[in-house]
C-alpha cells in the first residue's frame, strides 16, 4: 500500500572541497513511500531547481545496489537504517510521516568532500591499483572446470567478491579504517587457485597502501553492520593472518 | 609483475613512511597490522598473567602463612637450575616489555586512527560497537594508573605506614581496609574486566585466529574470562571490608621472623 509522507531533511551543504559546510533544513512533503531514498532526493532537487536554488549534489549510478556509487550517512548510519541495503535500495517506507532525517556525506580524512554529499573515494582506488588484480599471463581461455575449486571455497570467495566498494565500512568505522574493504578485495583473490601466484605480493601491497590512507581496526564490527553486501569481518582476520605470512614469505623470495 | 599499474592520484596520505626502515622482523612493527599483532600477543601474555595472579591471590583465603609461603614459592621458582628469584625476575622483565609494547602500539595506532577519522556533526549511531570496545582507550589508561598505584601500595609500600615486606596478608588487609582504597580497587577492576571483555575477543581477530566452526566460542571465552577475573579480583576488597581477611594489625609473618631471629641468637 503506497501512501505519502512528509519529512524534514537536514542536509549537509558544502559548495566545494575547501569551503565551509553546514546543515540546511528542507521540507520534503508528499513523498511516496514507494520512492527510493535517492528518488526522494531527486524530488527535493526538482523542487529546488524550480525555485531557482542549487540542487543537492549526491552520487548514484545503477540504483539497484550493485555499483557502489551511492552512499549517504542517514541519521548517523551508513546507508540508513535498513540492514544489508545500499542507499539506492532503501525505500521511504522505512520512514514514518513527520520523521526528521539527517543526511551527511561519508566522513574520513581520506574521503574529502567534493561538494554537498559527494566525496572523493580515490584512496580506495589506490588500494586496488596496488594489487587488487591478477596480472600473471594465463594463456588462452582454459577449459571449464580445469581448475577444481571446492564449493565452500568458491562460496566464501564470492561472499568477499560481493564488495561493491561503496566505502560504507570506512564511513561507519570510528577509526575510519578501510580494513573490511581491503580484506574483501584481498581475500576474494587469495582464496582461489588463480589468485595464488600473486597472493603474498598482493596482500603486502594492498594492506600497506590501505595503511597510508586509513585508520587502524579496533574490531568494533561497525563495518559489518553497515556493509550493504553483508561481508563478514572474518575476512579481516584472514587478511591479518595472510599479511604476517606475506611479511615472512616475501622476505624469503626477495632473498 | 607482467603489467604495471600507474599510481592513482589520491588525496594526500594520512600516514607518512617511517623515517628509518628498521631491519626485518622489526619492520613488521612499523606497520599497523603488525602493531595489532604485537598488541594481540602482548595482550595474551598480560591476560595470562592476570589470570594466574588472580588465582594465586586466592591463597589469601587460606591464611597469612599460606599466602606468604606462596609468595616465597614464586621467588624459589627454578632454584634447582638458576639462582633464587632469577626466573621470577625474567618473567617480570617479560611482563614489563609486554606492557610497554602494548601501550606503545595502542598509543601509535590511536594516533593513526584519530588522524584518519573525521567527526560527524550530525552524530553517529553505533550498532555493533559495545561499551567495552568503545571505552578501550579509557579503560586502558585507568588500568595503567591503577597498576602504578597497586605496585606502589602493595609492592613498594609507599602509601602504607604499616607496610611489612613479605607479608601480603597483612599489607592487603591494612590497605584494602580503607574504604577509599577499596573503592579504587573495585573501580579499577571493573575497568580491567571491561578491557578484557573486548580485548580477548579482539585478540583473535588481530592475530587472524578465525575459523567459522569455532568463532562463536570467542565471545563466550571473552565473557567467561572477564567474568572470572572480575569476580575473583573484586572478592578481595569486598572480603577485606567484610572482615573475612583481617589480621587486626598484627603481622604474623613479622612475628614469625622475629621469633626465628630470636631463636637463631639463642642457638
Q: Are B122 and A76 in contact (CB under 8 A)?
A: yes
Alpha helices in chain B (DSSP H): 32-57, 64-76, 86-116, 131-134, 136-154, 168-175, 179-206, 215-242, 252-266
Q: What does the alpha-carbon distance between residue B9 and residue B25 come to, in Å, rounded to a whole number? A: 31
Please determine, for residue A253, whether its predicted confidence score (pLDDT) is greater than 80. Answer: no
**Nearest-CB residue to A76 (from B112, B123, B207):** B123
Percent of chain A whose predicted confidence (pLDDT) is above 70: 98
Q: Where are the domains of chain A?
A: 4-114, 122-254
Please determine, for residue B2, whether its predicted confidence score (pLDDT) is greater than 50. Answer: no
The pLDDT value given to residue A185: 97
Q: What does the alpha-carbon distance between residue A153 and residue A135 come to, in Å, rounded to a whole number? A: 21
Alpha-carbon distance B37 to nearest alpha carbon in chain A (angstroms): 8
Q: What does the alpha-carbon distance between residue B20 and residue A200 come to, in Å, rounded to a whole number? A: 24
Which grid coordinates belong to B101?
A: 609494547
In terms of CATH, what superfamily is A4-114?
Answer: Beta-grasp domain (3.10.20.30)
Mean pLDDT of all residues in B157-186: 92
Please determine, for residue B4, whether its predicted confidence score (pLDDT) is greater than 70. Answer: no
Pairing of strands A4-13, A100-104: parallel
Which region among A107-111, A250-254, B178-182, B214-218 has the lowest average model confidence (pLDDT)?
A250-254
Average pLDDT, chain A: 94
Q: List, for residues B141-171, the tens digit of each pLDDT value.
A: 999 999 999 999 999 999 888 898 889 999 9
Domain presence at residue B185:
yes
How big is chain B by its Cα radius of gyration, in Å?
24
**Nearest-CB residue to A110 (from B3, B28, B116):** B116
Q: For residue B123, give the DSSP letter.
A: -
Cα–Cα nearest to A243, from A84, A131, A149: A131
**Nearest-CB residue to B205 (from A23, A236, A244):** A236
Domain presence at residue B209:
yes
Return the SS3 of A32. strand
Q: Is the dihedral of CA A137, A141, A146, A151 positive or negative?
A: positive
Q: Which one of A9, A240, A246 makes the best mutation probe of the B interface by having the most chain B beta carbons within 10 Å?
A: A240
Is-same-fold flag (A4-114; A122-254)? no
In chain B, the number of structural domains is 1
- How sure is the predictor about B14, in pLDDT bands with cuts at 50, 70 and 90? confident
Q: What does the alpha-carbon distance between residue A187 and residue A91 come to, in Å, rounded to a whole number? A: 32
- Contact at CB, B125 and A77, closer than 8 angstroms: yes
Phi and psi, residue B173, nearest 5°: -70, -30
Alpha-carbon distance A249 to nearest alpha carbon in chain B (angstroms): 12
Q: List, for residues B56-74, the tens digit of each pLDDT value.
A: 999 999 999 999 999 999 9
Q: Which one of A78, A215, A225 makes the best mutation probe of the B interface by having the most chain B beta carbons within 10 Å?
A: A215
Mean pLDDT of all residues in A93-117: 96
Q: List, for residues B206-264, the tens digit of each pLDDT value.
A: 999 999 899 999 999 999 999 999 999 999 999 999 999 988 878 888 888 888 888 87
Cβ neighbours of B119 in A, within 8 Å: 107
ipTM for the whole complex: 0.91
- How sure is the predictor about B5, in pLDDT bands with cuts at 50, 70 and 90? low
B7 in contact with A, Cβ within 8 Å: yes
Q: What does the alpha-carbon distance between residue B190 and residue A20 come to, in Å, rounded to a whole number? A: 43
B 24-83 residues with CB below 8 A of A?
Answer: 24-25, 27-28, 31-37
Domain presence at residue B32:
no
* A243 burial type by CB count under 10 A (0-12 exposed, 13-18 middle, 19+ buried): buried
Cα–Cα nearest to B248, from B150, B165, B160, B177: B177
The pLDDT value given to residue B1: 42
Domain presence at residue B205:
yes
The DSSP annotation for A190-215 comes to: HTSGGGSTTHHHHHHHHHHHHHHHS-
- Contact at CB, A216 and B134, closer than 8 angstroms: no
Q: Which residue range forms the structural domain that includes residue B166? A: 41-115+134-257
Q: Are B15 and B115 in contact (CB under 8 A)?
A: yes
Domain presence at residue B110:
yes
Please determine, for residue A249, whether its predicted confidence score (pLDDT) is greater than 70. Answer: yes
Q: Is the dihedral of CA A155, A88, A100, A72 positive or negative?
A: positive
Q: Is the dihedral of CA A84, A90, A96, A102 positive or negative?
A: positive
Q: Are A73 and A104 in contact (CB under 8 A)?
A: yes
Please determine, for residue A153, whether its predicted confidence score (pLDDT) is greater than 70. Answer: yes
Q: Are A45 and A28 in contact (CB under 8 A)?
A: no
Q: List, for residues A25-80, the tens digit of each pLDDT value.
A: 999 999 999 999 999 999 999 999 999 999 999 999 999 999 999 999 999 999 99
Q: List, for residues B193-221, the tens digit of each pLDDT value.
A: 999 999 999 999 999 999 989 999 999 99
Question: Is the domain defined by A122-254 classed in CATH 1.10.10.1100?
Answer: no
The pLDDT value given to residue B136: 96
Q: Is the peptide bond before A25 cis (omega within 30 degrees of 0)?
A: no
> pTM of the entire structure?
0.92
The pLDDT value given to residue B258: 84
Mean pLDDT of all residues in A169-198: 95
Cβ neighbours of B36 in A, within 8 Å: 216-217, 240
Q: Are B49 and B60 in contact (CB under 8 A)?
A: no
Domain presence at residue B24:
no
Average pLDDT, chain B: 92
Cβ neighbours of B219 in A, within 8 Å: none
Q: What does the alpha-carbon distance between residue A211 and residue B13 come to, in Å, rounded to a whole number? A: 9
Q: What does the alpha-carbon distance between residue A174 and residue A107 come to, in Å, rounded to a whole number? A: 10
Q: Are A174 and B117 in contact (CB under 8 A)?
A: yes
Amino acid at each position: 500500500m503506497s501512501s505519502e509522507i512528509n519529512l524534514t531533511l537536514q542536509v549537509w551543504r558544502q559548495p566545494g572541497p575547501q569551503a565551509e559546510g553546514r546543515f540546511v533544513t528542507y521540507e520534503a512533503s508528499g513523498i511516496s513511500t514507494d520512492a527510493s531514498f535517492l528518488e526522494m532526493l531527486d524530488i527535493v532537487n526538482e523542487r529546488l531547481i524550480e525555485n531557482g536554488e542549487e540542487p543537492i549534489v549526491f552520487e548514484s549510478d545503477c540504483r539497484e545496489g550493485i555499483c557502489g556509487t551511492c552512499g549517504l550517512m542517514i541519521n548517523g548510519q551508513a546507508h540508513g537504517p535498513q540492514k544489508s541495503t545500499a542507499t539506492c535500495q532503501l525505500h521511504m517506507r522505512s520512514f514514518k510521516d513527520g520523521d526528521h532525517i539527517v543526511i551527511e556525506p561519508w566522513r574520513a580524512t581520506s574521503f574529502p568532500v567534493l561538494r554537498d554529499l559527494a566525496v572523493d573515494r580515490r584512496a580506495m582506488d589506490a588500494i586496488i591499483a596496488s594489487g587488487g588484480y591478477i596480472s600473471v599471463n594465463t594463456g588462452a581461455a582454459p577449459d571449464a572446470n580445469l581448475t577444481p575449486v571446492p564449493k565452500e571455497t568458491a562460496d566464501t570467495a564470492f561472499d568477499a567478491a560481493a564488495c561493491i566498494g561503496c566505502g560504507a565500512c570506512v564511513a561507519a568505522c570510528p577509526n575510519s579504517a578501510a580494513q573490511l574493504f581491503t580484506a574483501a578485495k584481498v581475500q576474494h583473490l587469495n582464496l582461489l587457485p588463480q589468485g595464488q601466484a600473486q597472493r603474498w605480493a598482493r596482500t603486502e601491497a594492498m594492506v600497506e597502501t590501505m595503511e597510508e590512507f586509513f585508520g587502524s581496526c579496533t574490531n568494533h564490527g561497525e563495518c559489518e553492520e553497515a556493509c550493504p553486501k553483508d561481508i563478514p569481518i572474518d575476512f579481516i582476520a584472514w587478511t591479518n593472518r595472510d599479511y604476517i605470512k606475506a611479511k615472512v614469505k616475501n622476505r624469503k623470495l626477495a632473498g | 609483475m607482467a603489467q604495471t599499474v600507474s599510481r592513482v592520484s589520491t588525496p594526500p596520505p594520512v600516514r607518512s613512511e617511517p623515517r628509518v626502515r628498521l631491519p626485518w622482523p622489526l619492520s613488521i612493527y612499523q606497520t599497523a597490522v603488525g602493531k595489532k599483532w604485537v598488541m594481540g600477543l602482548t595482550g595474551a601474555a598480560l591476560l595470562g598473567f592476570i589470570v594466574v595472579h588472580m588465582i594465586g591471590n586466592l591463597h589469601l583465603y587460606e591464611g597469612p602463612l599460606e599466602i606468604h609461603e606462596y609468595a616465597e614459592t614464586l621467588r624459589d621458582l627454578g632454584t634447582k637450575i638458576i639462582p633464587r628469584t632469577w626466573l621470577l625476575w625474567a618473567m617480570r622483565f617479560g611482563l614489563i616489555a609486554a606492557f610497554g609494547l602494548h601501550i606503545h602500539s595502542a598509543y601509535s595506532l590511536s594516533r593513526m586512527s584519530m588522524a584518519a577519522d573525521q567527526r560527524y556533526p550530525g552524530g553517529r549511531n553505533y550498532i555493533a560497537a559495545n561499551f567495552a570496545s568503545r571505552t578501550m582507550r579509557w579503560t586502558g589508561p585507568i588500568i595503567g594508573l591503577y597498576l602504578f598505584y597497586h605496585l606502589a601500595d602493595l609492592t613498594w609500600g609507599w602509601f602504607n605506614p604499616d607496610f611489612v615486606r613479605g607479608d601480603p596478608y597483612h599489607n592487603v588487609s591494612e590497605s584494602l581496609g580503607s574504604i577509599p582504597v577499596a573503592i579504587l580497587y573495585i573501580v579499577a577492576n571493573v575497568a580491567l574486566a571491561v578491557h578484557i571483555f573486548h580485548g580477548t575477543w579482539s585478540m583473535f581477530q588481530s592475530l587472524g585466529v578465525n575459523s567459522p566452526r569455532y568463532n562463536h566460542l570467542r565471545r563466550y571465552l571473552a565473557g567467561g574470562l572477564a567474568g572470572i577475573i572480575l569476580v575473583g579480583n573484586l572478592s578481595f576488597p569486598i572480603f577485606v571490608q567484610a572482615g573475612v581477611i583481617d589480621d587486626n594489625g598484627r603481622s604474623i609473618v613479622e612475628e614469625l621472623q622475629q621469633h626465628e631471629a630470636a631463636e637463631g641468637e639463642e642457638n
